[in-house]
Amino acid sequence: MFLALPFLLPGIFMSSMSANATAPADAIEQRVNTLLAEMTIEEKIGQMSQVNGGDSYIHDYLRDALRAGRVGSVLNEVDVNVVNELQRIAVEESRLGIPLIIGRDVIHGFKTVMPIPLGQAATWNPVIVSSGARVAAREAASVGVNWTFAPMIDISRDPRWGRIAESLGEDPYLASELGTAMVRGFQGDDLSAKDTIAACAKHFVGYGESESGRDYATTNIPENELRNVHLRPFHAAAKAGVMTMMTSFSDLDGVPATANEYLVNDILRGEWGFDGFVVSDWDSVRQLSIHGLTANDRESACEAAIAGVDMEMHGDAYLNHLAQLVDDGKVPLEAVDTAVANILRAKFRLGLFENPYTDPNDFPPFADADALETAREAALQSVVMLKNEHHVLPLSADQLSSIALIGPLADTPYEQLGTWIFDGDPRYSVTPLGAIETLVGDGVDVRYLKAMETSRSRDTSAFDEAEALAAETDATVLFLGEEAILSGEAHSRADISLPGAQAELVGRIRASGKPVIVVILAGRPLTLTNIVDEVDAILFAWHPGSMGGPAIADLLFGIESPSGKLPVTFPRMVGQIPIYYYQKNTGKPPSPETIAHIDDIDAKAPQLSLGMTSFHLDAGYTPLFAFGHGLSYAYFNYENLTTSTSEMALDGSITISVDVTNTSGITADEVVQLYVRDLVGNVTRPLRELKGFRRLTLAPGERVTVDFELTADDLAFYGRKMQRMTEPGEFHAWVGSSSEAGLMAEFRIVGER
């Protein structure tokens, strides 16, 4: 039952409560400064400290800490009555009555689960990404959560890394566009509204470059790469008004991010003017000593505070040591005051001083029609059709008398939700099996066999039955991939092929001689080389969330056309990693004429017989599936690529236009992609760089002209002196359906820099 609680603030601060959270910034700053002036050093450090809850009751020690003002945030409590009681103690029984900010990992949904973020990135649709975050914010806010630790906008180019599932892919432009969309969805137009929550851009910065894809491992990123690639989504999030940022677990060139003053104070605060607050990752302040940067918790607290980490997540280094560090002159009081001001500013902007309590009756029920439709549409747009030989898809319910659904992931309500779904409710999941049975009704005999207990199983005892079932039916759809637990934090894999005996199952089903369609549910790109030639079609569905089943069913049977595009490159084998479209040319670039395969080399061949270019003897230089790749049931023709000018001034702009026609007989979506190359630069530039995209819905025969406008600033980069610059010179531009295809045009930037 909701607790109707009074709200009183003691002391002089009551007089300032007539202002609201939508007040001008200077009014909020006045309130921050007024409150800060009343705080003791212990109360300030309390605001900088977050404690873990989640026990659905309040321990006596936590009650005492709240009354003493030693807690600024509580993590992982989602019982609304407990949250309201925590807030009541904080605002009514503490000296200054400062409300709490309640944090929770609401990564891709709360009760209603959207596709994993990497799947959402495959939609290439900021609108649907924002809508999914809006649903998540509304559901989380209904239980008192007002802060989420998303979006994760680490550039992720190693699919072995488990947390690639939480990312928005390998490209800084796409991650920037979708990351800011997610921020807008969580935070809305008015942060003080009841159904909005503060977003947190993480992990600042470079976490996706962890060596060998091992979670928490070292990252070594040159500053030029850091600025041109990894910092870009975070800068975009800061400009979009993200309320908080989280430091990375990993070190960066020898300095852990949680103690990296250059990153936090110089770049984030100094260069970008970020005025939200920075939180450490889980216990990462104390972990500075494990890294070997500090000798103990006291030194760790000192390093993190000086670096500009405002709040310590689930640790007590600040509580135990920061006051003495200030007394000893090791940490300036001004650093503490700045941190506390940043936290208080966020709480005022969220309207927590006016409305600290939550009434669930102010919100719609979980998994309402709007939430489920958003989840269905997100899943539908996220699925990528990698292959469709002989047009085996779409299936026709009118032409099938029977179909076999085989595999460990055809009917797993929990597994389809994916990683990081603490609050996700499998009761709301509609599985592919259930959705297909509903769609085809009694007209098609749907035969289901799990065949493997889990995706990791090596037990092949059911494979004879599976092969017989495939032979007896008109077509087989295999539901393969990874269980949710195989991706996410601390779940990195060195071998990213299909786990267990799944590849053997594919071979057995192929032997039936009937059409074989594979639907893969996974948290990362997989190496599919060992099965890609054994199947007729592949739909890559990621972990598609609550409504993955209806989306997959609609795609299999042609109710909808696949429209997802890969946000990350798929390697042929692990040894190619890192492989991504954004690569540079090198001094010896490969070409089809300069490579050879290891099996084609003659015995005692001379050492210099293979062209001396950059490739792998056993894998070549191309991926299995390229960034931006994704097939459709429709056909789209690109023609008439033009530029508005052949020469663009440094203070001007250029419009790149292309005509796109749906030449098929069905309505379908296409994602039109613009790539650019700067041919000569102050530093070497990528072979192709995404600069724009547009998702279109085209009716049969419909033709549209798509315009992309670029300014000189859109073509800027960081040069040798780490200054952002746009250079005059020659550029190539491509527009097409992936990073590999497209028409090309040329233009030139003229002028003096």
C-alpha to C-alpha distance for 554 and 541, rounded to whole angstroms: 13
Distance of CA 552 to the CA centre of its chain: 21
Candidate list 154, 171, 281, 425, residue with the active-site label: 281
Residue 250: HSE in the Cβ half-sphere, 13 Å Cα cutoff: 24
Which token pair is 223? Answer: 């500053």
- Which residues have CB under 8 Å from 59's CB, separation 6+? none
- What's the one-letter identity of residue 317? A
Q: What is the DSSP string of 469-531?
A: HHHHSS-EEEEEE--GGGSSTT---S--SPPTTHHHHHHHHHTT-S-EEEEEE-SS----TTT
C-alpha to C-alpha distance for 347 and 38, rounded to whole angstroms: 17
C-alpha to C-alpha distance for 203 and 260, rounded to whole angstroms: 13
Please name which of 87, 67, 68 lies closest in space to residue 77, comparing C-alpha atoms: 87
C-alpha to C-alpha distance for 473 and 682, rounded to whole angstroms: 61
Beta carbons of 233 and 153 less than 8 angstroms apart = yes
For residue 730, give Cα distances in angstroms to 646, 652, 745.
Answer: 10, 15, 11
**Is 281 annotated in the active site?**
yes
- What's the one-letter identity of residue 98? I
- Which residues have CB under 8 Å from 397's CB, separation 6+? 439, 440, 441, 443, 444, 557
Which phi and psi angles does 107 have, rounded to 5°? Answer: -90, -50
What's the sign of the alpha-carbon dihedral 366, 370, 376, 382? negative
- Which residues have CB under 8 Å from 605's CB, separation 6+? none
| Helix, strand or coil, per DSSP, at residue 604 | coil
| Helix, strand or coil, per DSSP, at residue 290 | helix
Q: At what angle do helices 232-239 and 172-187 cross, to 10 degrees?
A: 30
Beta carbons of 152 and 164 less than 8 angstroms apart = no
DSSP letter, residue 634: S
- How many residues does this entry show for the chain? 753
Beta carbons of 233 and 207 less than 8 angstroms apart = no
C-alpha to C-alpha distance for 184 and 242, rounded to whole angstroms: 8
How many angstroms separate the most distant Cα atoms in the chain?
89
Neighbours of 741 (CB within 10 A): 15
C-alpha to C-alpha distance for 182 and 129, rounded to whole angstroms: 6
Positions marked catalytic: 281
